[in-house]
Structure formats: C-alpha cells, structure tokens
Amino acid sequence: MNDFIKYNIFNKYKNIIHGSTTKLYNFENILKLHNCNSGMAIIPKQIHENKTIIVDSNMLGKGEDYYIGDSLATNNENIILVIRTADCLPIFLFNKDKNVIGLIHAGWRGLARDIISCFIKKVKMVYNTSENSFIAAIGPSINKNCYEVGEEVIVKLSNIYKNDLKTVIEKKSDIKYYLDLKLLAKNYLIKLGLKEENIEVSSSCTHCNDELFYSFRRDKGKLGNIYSMICLRP
C-alpha cells in the first residue's frame, strides 16, 4: 500500500488530482507533491447533515464557519475540495461529461439523512449532470467486522434504505449489529443510477490498520483525521 492513497478509477483522468492521506503522508505533503496552493483549498465544517456546498472562486479565503456541510462540488479548475474522516466514508465523485468533481463525508448519520441522494440531486440541478456519467471511489473507512452498531442506528437507516439494509448488516445479538457502510453506499450509488463498473471501493479498514490510519472509534476521537482531496486541473 502506498503512503498516499489514490484510486485506480480516477488515475486515467490526467486533469484530476486526488487522494487520501495516511499517518505517513499528510495533507501538506500532497499539496507540495502536486504543486498546489493551500489558499485554494476548501475544508468545510462537517456536521453529519446532508447539505451540499457548490464551490466557486468567490468562496475562497473564507473561514471554516463559512463552509458548513458534508459534501462539496465544483467545476472550477484549481479549487481543492477537502473532507476529513476517521472511520466515516470519504466518497470521491467525478462527472466526466460535465467536468464536475465532488466529495462526500458520509457516516451513518449522513447516510440516514440521505446525503448521497441529496448530493446527486443538487449537482444534477446546478450542472445538468446525468447519473450514469459519474465515476466514484469510496476510500478507507471502517469495515463491517469492526463496526458494531445498536438497533437505533438500523432503525434510522431503514427510513431511507428499507429492505436494502438486509444485505449490509449481520446480527450479533438481539440489539447489536455489524454494519457494512461501504457496501451500503456502493449499493445506493448503483440504485441512484451509477454503473457498478464505475465505482471503486477501498478494502482498507481504518480501525484495523493503526499504522496508516486514524480511527475515531479506536482512538476515542483523540488523535487525527484522514484528509481526502480532489482537484480539477486545466
């Protein structure tokens, strides 16, 4: 595994810079590697909601409180979209027909608030995109065998995903379940119109691999974050 995580599905697009940090390769390293200006980075205040921020050059240079939301999209070149995770899903998206990039921060709360569908609808409205023109990558996050949740989480997710939940949960006891966030997001992207062959899912578990990744659950929220970024280049 590389110190800096990239995704094969995006590598053939030479106008896209993308990737996720590890403990061995931080965000500043990525910016230097790609000769990026940190002043072009948009890092939102994430609140586990379903708001999508449409980013343009007029929004640069604002403080974190200006960007409140859990997903970002732009068609502006050289703007760096960034989200932070430490068990939640970083979801990278690129609409190759309209040259639109996006990032979603999706934990179970965001998924229960339908953040993926809200992102697709907002980008479709603003940029006139089609669902089957998106490619996506789901980055390092907590895997099913490490992600135990209570029945209340399953109940809240069932409002959106209904019977589809059956394929992504495993009952541990009467009140505990193992939940596969990655598969839940992948299946939902397909349901929304993305082609399965256009979705890449990282097998890396943030909870298991303490040498490379921070984990909110393992570290009790005390350490750091994985920074995921995507940028369009001319």
Q: What is the pLDDT of residue 2?
A: 58
Q: Flag residues of the chain having pLDDT under 50.
A: 1
Nearest to 102 by CA among 114, 120, 125: 120
Number of domains in the chain: 1
Exposed, middle or buried: residue 87 (CB in 10 Å: 0-12, 13-18, 19+)? buried
Yes or no: say if 226 and 206 are a contact pair by the CB < 8 Å rule: yes
Assign residue 38 the CATH number of its domain: 3.60.140.10
Q: Is residue 104 in a domain? A: yes
Residue 109 lies in a domain: yes
Name the residue type at position 65. D
Cα(14)–Cα(30) distance, rounded to whole angstroms?
A: 16
Residue 146 resides in a domain: no
Query: Which pLDDT does position 1 carry in this prediction?
Result: 45
pTM above 0.85, yes or no: yes
For residue 29, the enclosing domain spans 8-141+196-232
Tell whether 19 is covered by a domain. Answer: yes
Q: What are the tokens at 160?
A: 């959106």
Contacts of 55 (CB under 8 A, 6+ apart): 42, 67, 72, 73, 74, 76, 79, 81
Q: Is residue 165 part of a domain?
A: no
pLDDT of residue 225: 94
In a domain, 176, yes or no: no
pLDDT in tens, 206-221: 999 999 999 999 999 8
